[in-house]
Amino acid sequence: MMKNIKQTEYANRLIILTFALIFLVGATGLVTVWLRHGIATAASETRAMEVRLNEVDRALARVNSEIAAGLNPSFLHQQIERFDLDLRRPDDEQIVRLGTPEVFDGLAGESGSAIEGMAYREGGGERSR
């Protein structure tokens, strides 16, 4: 009688362990599948972003080259003539060279004491008193 009970106990334990093992293996499988799916999804997203980045790079290169073509002096001259803008380069009279005393004198003469004060402010201008 004792022997039968022990055998039943052993069999029950074996069944439980088997079920547990099946559950564990199944769970591991499911987790693996879930992880792989996650990795695949993340990889796809990365790939999509890579493609998008490449597209942006391509667009940027296109825009940059079009801007460069638009800044070509010959093209700009054509545009000036086309739109009859009558633009000319500045002559020497219109050019004020920074860092020369004439600049400060001229500014002070034109705009009064406020600019003069700024130009001669202690430590603030090139010509501090």
Partner 1 sequence: MTPALASSCRLGLLGVVMVAGFCGIGARLYYLQVMESEQLALIAEGNRKQVIVQSARRGNIFDRRGNLLATDRTFIELGVDPQVVRDEDRPQWAELARIIGVPLEELEEKMTARVGAGDSEFAEDVRLVRWRKLAEGLDEPTYERIRELGIRGVYGNRQYRRVYPGGELAAHIIGFSNREGVGVIGVENAMNFYLRGEDGWVESERDGRRRELMQFRSREVPARNGLDVELTLDMMVQHVVEEELRRVVDEFSPQGAVIIVSEPGSGRILGLGNYPTFDLNQYSRSDIAHHRNRAITDVLEPGSTFKVVPVAAALNEGLTDPEQVFDCGVGQVEYRGRRLRLPADHREFGELSVEDIVRVSSNRGAAFLGLMLGENRLHGYAEAFGFGSRTGFPLLGEVRGTLHPVRAWDGLTITRLPIGHAVSATPMQIHYAMGALANGGVLMEPRIIERAVDENGETVFSFPPAARGRAVSEFTAETVSEMLVAAAAPGGTAPQAQIDGYEVAGKTGTTRKIIDGRYSNRHHVASFSGYFPASDPRVVITVIVDEPASSGPSYGGVVAAPGFRRIGVELIPYLGIEATRPEQVLAQREGGGL
Where do contacts with partner 1 occur on this chain (CB under 8 A)?
36, 39-40, 42-44, 46-47, 58-59, 61-62, 64-69, 71-74, 89-93, 95, 97
Looking at the Cβ atoms of 5 and 95, the one nearer to partner 1 is 95
Looking at the Cβ atoms of 92 and 110, the one nearer to partner 1 is 92
User: C-beta of 73: minimal distance to partner 1 in Å?
Assistant: 4
How many angstroms separate the CA atoms of 58 and 56, rounded?
A: 5
User: C-beta of 20: minimal distance to partner 1 in Å?
Assistant: 31
Amino acid making up residue 52: R
How many angstroms separate the CA atoms of 104 and 93, rounded?
A: 16
User: C-beta of 15: minimal distance to partner 1 in Å?
Assistant: 30
User: C-beta of 80: minimal distance to partner 1 in Å?
Assistant: 13
Looking at the Cβ atoms of 21 and 68, the one nearer to partner 1 is 68
Contacts for 102 with CB less than 8 Å, ≥ 6 apart: 96
Looking at the Cβ atoms of 9 and 45, the one nearer to partner 1 is 45
CA distances in angstroms from 53 to 39, 46, 47, listed in the order given? 20, 10, 10
Residues counted in the chain:
129
- Cβ atoms within 10 A of the Cβ of 28, count? 10
